[in-house]
Amino acid sequence: MQIRLAPLNRTMVQQLIVAVPPDPISPLGRTLAAVVGLITADAAEWPAGVATGGGLRTDDVLRQLRMASAWAGPVELDSYLAGNGTTGTTVRLIGAAGHVELTLDVGGSGELVRAGISLGS
């Protein structure tokens, strides 16, 4: 990636945030795909391949994901909003009726330790 700025007297760029997408085969990438799949499928059960830690309650996360599914409908990944590509990511998911922002953090062993979901119009 390359960024070029015009030589202006007054600096115009105040902040630049670069979100690093996770590698699809990394623990974070696999967890992201599985959780997005839960929203799209309106799943009732936690996927066996996604380990959790840090006291994360899968029942609570599933309830939030069902709300996201009801709000936006089936979703697809629109953009990466934040994240380091290894332990955390925030993505915007677009559905027919709205969008969802999903934040995931994984621990050192690849287990999901935090999931945050917010609904948008």
Mean pLDDT value across residues 3-16: 72
Q: Around Cβ 68, how many Cβ atoms within 10 Å?
A: 27
Which pLDDT score is estimated for 20?
92
Cα distance between residue 26 and residue 14, in whole Å:
32
Write down the CATH number for the domain with range 27-120.
3.10.450.280
- pLDDT tens track for 22-36: 999 999 999 999 999
Where along the chain do its domains lie? 27-120
Give 59: exposed, middle or buried? Use CB within 10 Å, 0-12, 13-18, 19+. exposed
Question: Is 0.95 surpassed by the pTM of this model?
Answer: no
